[in-house]
Chain A
Amino acid sequence: QNSNFKENEVLSVTLSVQYLFQLDDDEEEEEEEEEEQEDKFDISISVKDPEKIGTNDMNAFQTPLPMFRNKTFTVRRRFSDFLGLYEKLSEKHGPNGFIVPPPPEKSILGMTKVKVGKEDSSSADFVERRRAALERYLQRIVHHPSLLQDPDVREFLEREELPRAVGTQALSGAGFLKMINKATDAVSKMTIKMNESDVWFEEKLQEVESADQQFRKLHVLVESLVVHRKELSLNTASFAKSTAMLGSAEDNTALSRALSQLAEVEDKMEQLHQDQATNDTFNFAELIADYIRLLGSVRGSFDHRMKAWQRWQDAQAALQKKRETEAKLLWANKPDKLQLVKEEIAEWEVKVTQYERDFDRVTATVRKEVVRFDKEKARNFKREIINYLECLLQSQQQLIKYWEAFLPEAKAIA
């Protein structure tokens, strides 16, 4: 397998979006099955020198590359390809306790607007949100040391054309959440007696559930803020126009001029509010949304650990049952059946050992993954929120400039 990159190399991915509005008539006839119209994404991948990667990257790697090449190439992927990748990765790595980053959900409403060609700010917003979310999704995958080794990931990044992913219809918004939330039901139904070393897991799970609750609440609030800021922007624009009209009706010259200057200030404020709404969305709301999804994956990994534990327990129970049967047969003196049972016992003993080892392995993985997740989370939140606050500050500086320019005009009224 000739790969473009070696182990431990640092990858940077950026996504741009291409839209597929209509298939040409000829192409349509060639299609055998109904091809679902989907937006396509161009993924630009470059292998970078970690020293050149500053704080722009999600993770700053500390281990230097033994060898590096600066190479850039592009592949084109459909949205369903991303979903397909997630399905493959979660099937393969989820049971081992890995936290597999989830992609953004399919949104029927959002996509319909875009397909209809609705050229408004809400569909432009949706497009950008999706692109950015997919980019972050890929970045999380390629920065996960184990996931990057996965051949499916390599194929996703390198192969010219990917075969269409099947079964991603199930990954609509609702289906997707169901899949992720299946974990919680399973965990809460189990009444498990935890021994000491598991207290960590119990606490962590509680933390995760509490964080999930808080984040969902916070997300709703931030989205509400976005809506109100957009309203504010529109209403400010409207007021600006109205003030300009008032200014032109005013017959005192200086006041008339001041009013039209006020209208200009309000116009600029409109833009500030709009920019602020964008800031709220991309540096705050989307961050929270990402983590709500990620927390779902974290709970998934806990669930997989529980499953491994359950499998081990079930094997122990089965072994116990066989031993009881063995004891009964010893008493009943049936040597043939006894031999069979002895063989079965041997099998189950192997299984029990295997499953215990599996459980320990999964436990260790989950633990490591959760620690990594927490560190990532802390780093991400700090960076994104500081970014957000800096934008806020910039906004304020601009505001000051506008009003400072206006003040002398107001004072000049006579």
Chain B
Amino acid sequence: GEPHPGPRAVNVDLQTDATLQVDISDALSERDKVKFTVHTKSTLPNFKQNEFSVVRQHEEFIWLHDSFVENEEYAGYIIPPAPPRPDFDASREKLQKLGEGEGSMTKEEFTKMKQELEAEYLAIFKKTVAMHEVFLCRVAAHPVLRKDLNFHVFLEYNQDLSVRGKNKKEKLEDFFKNVVKSADGVLVAGVKDVDDFFEHEKTFLLEYHNRVKDASAKSDRMIRSHKNAADDINRIASSLYTLGTQDSTDLCKFFLKVSELFEKTRKIESRVAADEDLKLADLLKYYLRESQAAKDLLYRRSRALVDYENANKALDKARAKNRDVLQAETSQQLCCHKFEKISESAKQELIDFKTRRVAAFRKNLVELAELELKHAKVT
């Protein structure tokens, strides 16, 4: 296979900064978990050393992400979306089925299929590493988030963070929190914003998010069909090979040649599907998550606005009744400050989001086209 460009280049366009560089230098896939080696190079004084590594699992990434989301200070930022859970179930199932069906196919067929499935497993593995890495890089590139204490602990503390996965109660709490957020969102989405910029962004993001979701789902389906077709071509190549080895007549020699051609075709189709997966499907999936994160930011701002408006009303009431006025004034000022702070950083975040998005799409679409051409010309 060809070397894929680093994940940072795939989904986000970030400058590499000498003060803090993070990457996943190694990963180990064990039975039911993946262990990522998070490698940091930094000239910041916060860290004890300039270069160090720790081992982290998926739950610890989620813990870090959630700590950002729950931090009121970061309400005005697009929180980099959490990486999806590593999912090897489907691949493992296929390998198991293959093992069970070993008796029913020729040795060549078995070896070939095994190689294919192992390559698939490896591809999934590489992807999950890339997605976890992108998350860390986005955090490291963010001017405020990179200073987060939890982030530093995540990078440096060389013991297990002991963040077990959320238990049932916690998951339920999360669920309700999200329901409330959505309900809020519905409420607030109806209110027209005084600020044109945010009004436009709200309309845009709602529509965009839905369409990216649809495009992501459809691209996955398309790529799956492509992979299925490639698998069929693989089996046909094997079958033709068997026909070709029956004897040494002209026809058999012909079958062998055709088998070779089918094998070549299969390789190309597989690569095309894999590239579509990487440059298109992954891109769409990533921006699905990022656009959700951007929407979450807008919801938070809207809630801050609602709080501010409520505080205004409370202040008016307090003044009218001439009771607890000072308290109401303080509360109103806090709300006002919070809202303005969020609005200011949100604006910049949304502009950056657009820039990143356009750059990422450009890069991936160009690479996709170039790869499609490269593969087609091989024939």
Residues of A with Cβ closer than 8 Å to B? 207, 210-211, 214, 217-218, 221-222, 224-225, 228-229, 231-232, 235-236, 238-239, 241-243, 245-246, 249-252, 254-255, 258-259, 262, 374, 377-378, 381-382, 385, 389, 392-393, 396, 399-400, 403-404, 406-407, 410-411, 413-414
Contact = CB atoms under 8 A, between A and B. Distances in A.
B376 A396 contact: yes
30 contacts: A214-B242, A218-B240, A222-B232, A222-B236, A225-B232, A225-B233, A228-B228, A231-B228, A232-B225, A236-B222, A236-B225, A238-B221, A239-B215, A241-B218, A245-B211, A246-B211, A246-B214, A254-B358, A255-B362, A259-B361, A378-B249, A381-B254, A396-B379, A400-B377, A403-B369, A403-B376, A407-B366, A407-B370, A411-B362, A413-B358
Contacts of A239: 215, 218-219, 221-222
B239 A245 contact: no
A218 B373 contact: no
- The secondary structure that dominates the A interface is helix
B211 A249 contact: yes
Interface of B: 204, 207-208, 211-212, 214-215, 218-219, 221-222, 224-226, 228-229, 232-233, 235-236, 239-240, 242-243, 246-247, 249-251, 254-255, 258, 261, 265, 354, 357-358, 361-362, 365-366, 368-370, 372-373, 376-377, 379
B221 A235 contact: yes
Contact of B243 (A218, A228, A236): A218
B204 A249 contact: yes
A210 B246 contact: yes
Given A232-B226, A258-B365, A382-B251, 9 more contacts: A207-B247, A235-B225, A239-B221, A242-B214, A245-B215, A252-B358, A374-B251, A400-B377, A413-B365
A385 B258 contact: yes
Given A218-B243, A249-B211, A406 B369 contact: yes
Contacts of A210: 246
A377 B255 CA distance: 12
Given A228-B228, A228-B229, A399-B372, A235 B218 contact: yes
A241 B215 CA distance: 9
A392 B265 contact: yes
A411 B368 CA distance: 11
A410 B236 CA distance: 36
B265 to A, nearest CB: 7
Contacts of B357: 252, 255
Contacts of B215: 239, 242-243, 245-246
Given A221-B236, A385-B258, A250 B373 contact: no
A238 B250 contact: no
A238 to B, nearest CB: 5
A269 B186 CA distance: 39
A250 B225 contact: no
Contacts of B229: 225, 228-229, 232
